[in-house]
Amino acid sequence: MKAFVYLLDLFIPLNLSPEEIMSSFEKDDLKPFELVKDVVKRELGEIKKIRFYNSYTSSSGFLIEYLVDFRSGQASVKIICAKDPRKVLVDYYKAEKERSNN
């Protein structure tokens, strides 16, 4: 299982372990973002505000989503830990769709 930031339709590999990310998430839902903040800043520029949005876990991996306000607007930033991050992302969107239909 590997860790990625999903931002601007790109999967950016991280030099972090899934255990490191999950452990920080258990302490505080904003802690994982702190681990990837430099990567996000490099892509978006100055970060103005960060909000935890959602998390998702499946047998394929896990995902943590943040809404990030930056100079030009707002972006969704996802931290995904999985062997196949695309599968986890698609499964997350399916689960979100089902949840909003109920």
Domain range summary for the chain, segments of one domain joined by +:
2-101
Q: Coil, strand or helix: which one is 86?
A: helix
Confidence (pLDDT) at 27: 96
Is it the case that residue 102 has pLDDT exceeding 80? no
Residue count of the chain: 102
Strand ranges (E), the chain: 2-7, 10-13, 47-58, 61-70, 73-82
Summarize pLDDT for 21-45 with one digit per residue, the tens: 999 999 999 999 999 999 999 999 9
Q: pLDDT category, 101, cuts 50, 70, 90?
A: confident
